[in-house]
Structure 1
Amino acid sequence: MNTNTVLIKNAKIVNEGEIFEGDIFIEGEYIKEISNSISIKSADQFVIDVEGSFVLPGIIDDQVHFREPGLTHKATIATESKAAVAGGITSFIEMPNTNPQTTTVEKLEEKFEIAANTSYANYSFMFGGTNDNLDEILKVDPKSVAGLKLFLGSSTGNMLVDDPEVLEKIFKSTNMVISVHCEDEATIKANLEKHLNEFGDDIPIKYHPIIRSEEACYISSSKAIELAKKTGARLHVFHLSTAKETKLFSNKLPLKDKKITSEVCIHHLWFSDEDYDTKGTLIKWNPAVKTAKDRDGLWKALLDDRIDVIATDHAPHTLEEKKNVYTKAPSGGPLVQHALVAMMEGFHKDKISMEKLVEKMCHNPAILFQVEKRGFIRKGYYADLVIVNPNNPWSVNKDNILYKCGWSPFEGTTFKSRITHTFVNGALVYNNFKIKEIKAAKRLTFDR
């Protein structure tokens, strides 16, 4: 097999608001040709006939926690990037709350070096802001880093940025996209104390969305947006979890012209507080999974373009850690392997079109972060492609989970769609439940 040239035949290509039948010719790392019909060009060419399947641009996940360095008993860049490509995610942006935290340029470059040696998917990292690292933030080259991440609530180590003066200085000082986790710490502390007084450490998990409440999210999100408007900063609000917050965002401008954008994650579109009885702390996330009404509000805002991006916030912990009592069970769960097929259930139920799904998972992250030559199926772009059979059911179980933590909140779920092939920079890295030991990944670059 010559993987230097690949011809994908009879594809249902989903790209830029259209679905059309056609062929894609890959030469080396790039898409060389897209046409209604491309003839076989050489005898040693690798040809894949994908009749009946969709071909999408590779997904760009703008928020993952791959735990390396320092927390590698939970995950590594190698293990989680493997799971990502199995899920059709060809590029990821990883968060700074590792150990040590990514709050100096030196530590940032160390993570890039790990990824260069071990990642199966294209990679970039967020630089972390703190109350005292503005000098380091100013050293970051915006062309080589995805953006800046600020925790305005629920952080580890010293990454909670809670000094209003410092926050305003950061917002005024950088042209990078500032991505924020918004939950009001004072509100959460007061709610937690009340429940600790009643239950001790073993607080029933159903109270999680009451402790990390709608109010806590809205207070923080609205303050961040107010500050962005005041300073002119480019703000991206991560993982909206309430219907109320969606009213803070607009759909009046095209994405490239928006200064304030937002994201929703798979778990907030899939689960609701009704699932705590069966899933327990396995669906403990920050921000919390909230009501079915909130979930409906998030779907509505996603479809009318107040929400711009779908991501995972993939954040694995061991099963042993997750099974602790409420106050000791960490928040977060693994999602990269199952994000696309979960969203395709929405397509099967007529909740979202394939064109809109591709817009939110592929095109928009590329536009928002100004990722070079990715996120679209275009001649001359990198051949990051995902082939999905929409009618090939499979069930999630321990034997086919690729996360290092070995579990998924989707265990026992049967998905109608199956990812059959994933290409990263023209290389077939995943084929029908098998990862190929090919390291074709590259550091993401940005057109800024």
Structure 2
Amino acid sequence: MQQTIIHNAIVINEGKRFRGGVIIEGEFIKSIFEGEKPESTNNAAQVIDAEERWLIPGAIDDQVHFREPGLTHKGEIATESKAALAGGVTSYMEMPNTNPQSVTHEELEKKYARAAEVSAVNYSFYMGATNKNLDEVLKTDPRKVCGIKVFMGSSTGNMLVDDEATLAEIFKNAPTLIATHCEDEAIIKRNIEIYREKYGEVVPISRHPKIRSAEACYKSSSKAVELAAKYDARLHVLHISSAQEMDLFQPGPVKDKKITAEVCVHHLWFDERDYLAYGTRIKWNPAVKSEADKLALWDALLADKIDVIATDHAPHTLDEKSHSYFKAPSGGPLVQHSVTAMFEFVKQGKITAEEVVKKMCHAPADLFRVDRRGYIREGYYADLVLINPEKSWTVCPENIIYKCGWSPFEGTNFSTQVSKTFVNGQLAYDRGHIETSVRGKRLEFNY
């Protein structure tokens, strides 16, 4: 069995850091050591000197849109999983609003089969809820599927679930975690009419956070939390974006909660002042909002009210994004740069490296009960990332891997860089080179 020894690393894991390394045997971490590497009992072992780079668990992104099937001019499982790999994301959970939508188990399993063929990293796919597929939703196997996605606000793909009886049955009987997109549709429609009357079809992009407002987010999020509390459901509210919503969540370890929250990198990085420079390239649903909202998200993240950092990676072509406000789709590519962006905040002193690892690796593993991933532990899958903490580089078209070919971080200079990524014990990414033969595995869950 192939053995790999990573030594002379700064291991950052479970709130601690130390100089040492790991021994990988096959797919798994055989042992972890502090100090100098032990004498190898395997003369054929591959030995990697980490040169004091940071060794962290692979990140688990609980919200991506890889656009396959049906929207593959924007992205594909193959291309976007390679971008994830280069960004230090070794597992992802992908959304159901493709074409066709993943709202039957037949369509869902087609995605899993495709990922087995082409995905460069590990994968799971959400079962999508609609107003009319309750029987399919309730058949979801929690050991094999990450969760049930409920759009309590319409977004790309228009999978809005607004039937009160259906929502009640989902929250009452869901066999898995329920992940929600929360924006109140009636409030958004009212706001659209207000701004259409004022500007016609040429609404400035700066009005996006006024149209998809904090009020719309809070009304929908509070409804989801109320339903979860009523039916004792496991609820995960995705891409929280407003200060007002922070009152809905409690601090504490993710393992102790049934109601949890996620924040996305773009809501921590951008605020409404950035619309002038970036325009529709930073048009997301929910919207990037005020600086005060961004600061409140940071406070909640550091206070453990917000549990997980993810991306909502959702590529569109630049041509699509270049349209006027109503025609430009919401979403943007992020999965290649999320880990690096968060470590930029580490360099700025906003958050510690240990907290980044907790929110991007440990917490999603705990929340979704992922089997043997998200930590550097003996017997766990060797999903590992080496970060060069002193490598400065600039995001440009030449190093962007997304199929859409652009990034909202284009032109940004980062001061850390992903150096190597291991997936199930295999060195899959090495300083710009992707080992195209490596395939991820279907995530399993401990229920």
Q: TM-score, normalised by structure 2?
A: 0.98
Please report the RMSD computed on the Cα atoms of aligned residues, expressed in angstroms: 1.0
Partner residue, 1:367: 366
Question: Does structure 2 retain, via aligned residues, the 8 Å contact 1:23–1:38?
Answer: no
User: Is residue 277 of structure 1 aligned with residue 268 of structure 2?
Assistant: no
CA contact (8 A) 1:25 1:38 kept: no
Asked whether the equivalents of residues 131 and 166 of structure 1 are also in contact (C-alpha less than 8 Å), the reply is yes
Equivalent residue, structure 2, for 1:393: 392
Q: Deviations over 1:119-152 (max 9, x none)?
A: 0010000000000101101221111000000000
Give 1:159 shift.
Answer: 1.3
After TM superposition, give the deviation of residue 283 of structure 1 in Å: 0.2
Tell me the secondary structure at the aligned position of residue 422 of structure 1: strand
In 1, Cα distance between the equivalents of 2:38 and 2:79? Answer: 36
- 1:126 & 1:377 partners in 2: Cα distance? 26
Residue matched to 1:39: 39
- Which is worse superposed, 132-141 or 375-384? 132-141
Relative distance call for 1:321 and 1:80 in structure 2 (3 A) is same
Any stretches of 5+ residues in structure 2 without a counterpart?
none
Q: Which residue of 1 aligns with 2:195?
A: 195
Q: State the distance in 1 between where 2:355 and 2:324 align.
A: 39
Q: CA deviation at 1:42?
A: 3.4
* Aligned pairs for 1:333-344 within 5 A: 333-344=332-343
Partner of 1:178: 178
Deviations 1:214-248 (A, max 9, x none): 10001110111011111111100000001111111
- Which of 2, 8, 11 lines up with 1:10 in the alignment? 8
Who is 2:27 aligned against? 29
Q: State the 1:115 CA deviation.
A: 0.2
Match for residue 221 of structure 2?
221
Return the offset for 1:164.
1.2
Q: Is the Cα–Cα contact under 8 Å of residues 238 and 263 in structure 2 kept in the other structure?
A: yes
Cα displacement string for residues 141-194 of structure 1 (whole angstroms, at most 9, x for unaligned residues): 111000000000023445100111110111101131000000000000010111
Report how many residues are paired: 445
Letter in 2 for 1:409: P
Give 1:107-186 correspondences, 5 Å limit: 107-157=107-157, 159-186=159-186
AA partner of residue 12 (structure 2): V
- Equivalent residue number for residue 207 of structure 1: 207
**Per-residue CA shift, 1:369-412, capped at 9, x if unaligned?**
00000000001100000000111100000000000000000000
Q: Distance in 1 between matches of 2:279 and 2:358?
A: 33
Whether the aligned pair in 1 keeps the contact of 2:92 and 2:124 (CA below 8 Å) is yes
Mapped partners of 2:340, 2:29: distance in 1: 24
Counterpart in 1 of 2:445? 446
Deviates more, 1:399-408 or 1:146-155: 146-155
In the TM superposition, what whole-angstrom CA distance separates every residue of 1:247-306 from its partner, at most 9, and x where no partner exists? Answer: 11001x431121100000000000000000000000000000001111110011000100
| Paired residues for 1:46-445 under 5 Å | 46-157=46-157, 159-251=159-251, 253-445=252-444
**Matched-pair contact (CA < 8 Å) for 2:11–2:54:** yes
Please tell me the residue identity of whatever aligns with 1:401: I
For residues 40 and 395 of structure 1, the distance between their equivalents in structure 2, rounded to whole angstroms, comes to 39
Structure 1 stretch displaced more, 199-208 or 55-64: 199-208
Please state whether the residue corresponding to 1:20 is helix, strand or coil: strand
Distance in 2 (CA, whole Å) between partners of 1:39 and 1:192 is 67
CA contact (8 A) 1:175 1:234 kept: no
Distance 1:267 1:23 in 2: 32
**For 2:202 and 2:120, how far apart are their aligned partners in 1?**
40
2:225 and 2:259 in contact (8 A); partners too:
yes
Deviations 1:7-41 (A, max 9, x none): 10111111111011112111110001111232233
Name which of structure 1's ranges 276-285 and 433-442 shifts more when overlaid on structure 2: 433-442
Amino acid of the residue matched to residue 404 of structure 1?
Answer: K
Q: Give the Å deviation of 1:443.
A: 0.2
Deviation at 1:72, TM superposition (A): 0.3
Equivalent-residue separation in structure 2 for 1:138 and 1:165 (angstroms):
14
Secondary structure of the residue aligned to 2:38 is coil
Say which SS state the counterpart of residue 131 (structure 2) adopts.
coil
Task: Spell out structure 1 runs of 4+ moving beyond 6 A.
Answer: none
1:280 alignment partner, SS class: helix
Q: Aligned with 2:190: secondary structure?
A: helix
Tell me if the contact between 1:154 and 1:286 (Cα under 8 Å) persists in the aligned partners: no
Give the SS at the match of 1:247. Answer: helix
Share of identical aligned residues, percent?
58
User: 1 CA distance for matches of 2:157 and 2:130?
Assistant: 10
2:156–2:330 contact (8 Å) kept in structure 1: no
Conserved? CA contact 1:427–1:440, under 8 Å: no
What are the ranges of 5 or more consecutive residues in structure 1 without an aligned counterpart? none
